[in-house]
Amino acid sequence: MRNKAVLLNILLAAIIVVLVYQLSTNTAENKIPAIVKSNAAVKNDSPGGEKKSVGAKGHIHPKPAVVIGSYGTDGKPNIMTAAWAGVVNSVPMSIGVSIRPSRKTYENVMATKAFTINVPSAQFVAHMDYAGNISGYDEDKFEKLGLTAVKGDFTNAPYIKEFPIVIECEVSETIDLGSHVQFIGKVIDTKIDLAYLDEEDHVDMSLINPVIYGGEYYYGYGQRLGKPWDIGKRFKDDENPTFQPKLYNNPTLATIHMRKSVRHFTNQAVSKEQLTELVKAGMAAPTAVNKQPWAFIAINDRTVLDKLSEVLPYAKMLKQATGAIVVCGDMTRTLEGQAQEYWIQDCSAATQNILLAAESMGLGAVWTGVYPKKERIEDVIQTIKLPEQLIPLNVIPIGYPTGEDQPKNKWDKNKLHWNGFSKSEQE
Ligand SMILES: Cc1cc2nc3c(=O)[nH]c(=O)nc-3n(C[C@H](O)[C@H](O)[C@H](O)COP(=O)(O)O)c2cc1C
User: What residues have CB less than 8 Å from 315, skipping those under 6 apart?
Assistant: 308, 309, 368, 395, 397
β-strand partners of 327: 296, 394
Whole-angstrom distance, CA of residue 294 vs CA of residue 66: 46
User: What residues have CB less than 8 Å from 263, skipping those under 6 apart?
Assistant: 317, 366, 397, 405
Range 15-20 average pLDDT: 47
How many angstroms separate the alpha carbon of residue 87 from the centre of ligand 1? 18
- Residue pLDDT, tens place only, 73-102: 999 999 999 999 999 999 999 999 999 999
Region of poorest pLDDT, from 49-53, 98-102, 288-292: 49-53
Query: Residue 32 — pLDDT band, cuts 50, 70, 90?
Result: very low
User: What residues have CB less than 8 Å from 129, skipping those under 6 apart?
Assistant: 81, 218, 226, 228, 229, 230, 231, 232
Model confidence at 357: pLDDT above 50: yes
- The residue among 364 and 250 whose pLDDT is bigger is 364
The predicted pLDDT at position 77 comes to 98
Query: Residue 237 — pLDDT band, cuts 50, 70, 90?
Result: low
Q: Which residue among 80, 97, 229 is best mutated to probe the pocket of ligand 1, counting the most ligand atoms within 8 A of its Cβ?
A: 80
Domains located in the chain, CATH noted: 63-213 (2.30.110.10), 272-399 (3.40.109.10)
Judge whether 322 and 399 are in contact, CB under 8 Å. yes
Specify the residue with its C-alpha closest to ligand 1, atom 7. Answer: 82
Model confidence at 167: pLDDT above 70: yes
How many angstroms separate the alpha carbon of residue 110 from the centre of ligand 1? 16
Model confidence at 17: pLDDT above 70: no
Q: What is the DSSP letter of 271?
A: P
Phi-psi region of 301 (alpha: psi -120 to 50; beta: other; left: phi over 0): beta
Phi, psi of 355 (to 5 degrees): -65, -40
How many angstroms separate the alpha carbon of residue 63 from the centre of ligand 1? 14
How many angstroms separate the alpha carbon of residue 400 from the centre of ligand 1? 28
Specify the residue with its C-alpha closest to ligand 1, atom 9. Answer: 99
Range 10-18 average pLDDT: 55
DSSP assignment of 43-59 equals: HHSPSS-------S---
Mean pLDDT of the chain: 87
Position in ligand 1 atom list of the atom nearest CA 129: 31
Specify the residue with its C-alpha closest to ligand 1, atom 6. Answer: 82
Model confidence at 19: pLDDT above 50: no
C-alpha separations of 394 from 88, 117, 158, 379 in Å: 53, 46, 49, 12
- The residue among 20 and 409 whose pLDDT is bigger is 409
Query: Residue 12 — pLDDT band, cuts 50, 70, 90?
Result: low
**Most confident of the ranges 312-316, 346-350, 419-423:** 346-350
Whole-angstrom distance, CA of residue 308 vs CA of residue 324: 10
Position in ligand 1 atom list of the atom nearest CA 82: 5
Range 302-322 average pLDDT: 96
The predicted pLDDT at position 14 comes to 57
Position in ligand 1 atom list of the atom nearest CA 133: 21
Specify the residue with its C-alpha closest to ligand 1, atom 15. Answer: 132
- The residue among 64 and 245 whose pLDDT is bigger is 64
Range 367-374 average pLDDT: 97
**What residues does ligand 1 touch, defined as CB less than 6 Å away?**
65, 78, 80-84, 98-100, 103-105, 129, 132-137, 180, 213, 228-229
Region of poorest pLDDT, from 156-165, 257-266, 285-294: 257-266
The predicted pLDDT at position 254 comes to 82
How many angstroms separate the alpha carbon of residue 154 from the centre of ligand 1? 25
- Residue pLDDT, tens place only, 106-140: 999 999 999 999 999 988 999 999 999 999 999 99
Instruction: For the chain, state the CA radius of gyration.
Output: 28
Model confidence at 7: pLDDT above 70: no
The predicted pLDDT at position 327 comes to 98
Judge whether 81 and 136 are in contact, CB under 8 Å. no
> 3-state DSSP call for residue 384?
helix
How many angstroms separate the alpha carbon of residue 129 from the centre of ligand 1? 9
DSSP assignment of 313-362 equals: TT-GGGGT-SEEEEEEEETTSSPSGGGGGHHHHHHHHHHHHHHHHHHHTT
Model confidence at 265: pLDDT above 50: yes
Position in ligand 1 atom list of the atom nearest CA 97: 8
Model confidence at 382: pLDDT above 60: yes
Position in ligand 1 atom list of the atom nearest CA 102: 25
> For the whole model, what pTM was predicted?
0.64
- Residue pLDDT, tens place only, 170-205: 999 999 999 999 999 999 999 999 989 988 888 888
Model confidence at 343: pLDDT above 60: yes
Model confidence at 10: pLDDT above 70: no
